Structure 1
Amino acid sequence: MKVLWSVMIIIILLLQLRLWVGEGSFAQVWSLQESIAAQQAENATLAARNQRLYAEVRNLRHQQGAIEERARMNLGLIRQDETFFLVVEP
Structure 2
Amino acid sequence: MRRWWPLALLLLALLALQAKFWWGDGGLREARALEARVEDQRRENARLQQRNDALSAEVEDLKSGEAAVEDRARSELGMVKPGEVFYRVVEPDAGPAASGDAAERDP
Q: CA RMSD in A?
A: 2.3
Identical aligned pairs, as a percentage?
36
Q: Residue 31 of structure 2 corresponds to which residue in structure 1?
A: 29
Listed one character per residue, the Cα deviations across residues 56-82 of structure 1 (whole Å, up to 9, x for unaligned) are 001000101211111111111112311
Report the 3-state secondary structure (helix = DSSP H, G, I; strand = E; otherwise coil) of the residue aligned with 2:84.
Answer: coil
Highest relative contact order (Cα 8 Å, sep 6+), 1 or 2? Answer: 1
Tell me by how many angstroms 1:85 deviates.
2.0
Give the TM-score of the pair, scaled to structure 2: 0.69
Report the 3-state secondary structure (helix = DSSP H, G, I; strand = E; otherwise coil) of the residue aligned with 1:84.
Answer: coil
- The size of the alignment, in residue pairs, is 89
- Partner Cα distance (1:70, 1:77) in 2: 9
Task: Tell me, yes or no, if structure 1 residue 68 matches structure 2 residue 70.
Answer: yes
Report 1:44-59 matches (<5 A): 44-59=46-61
Listed one character per residue, the Cα deviations across residues 22-68 of structure 1 (whole Å, up to 9, x for unaligned) are 23211111001000000000000000000000000010001012111
For the pair shown, which has the larger CA radius of gyration, 1 or 2?
Answer: 2
Give the TM-score of the pair, scaled to structure 1: 0.81
Q: Residue 41 of structure 2 corresponds to which residue in structure 1?
A: 39
Unaligned 5+ segments in structure 1 are none
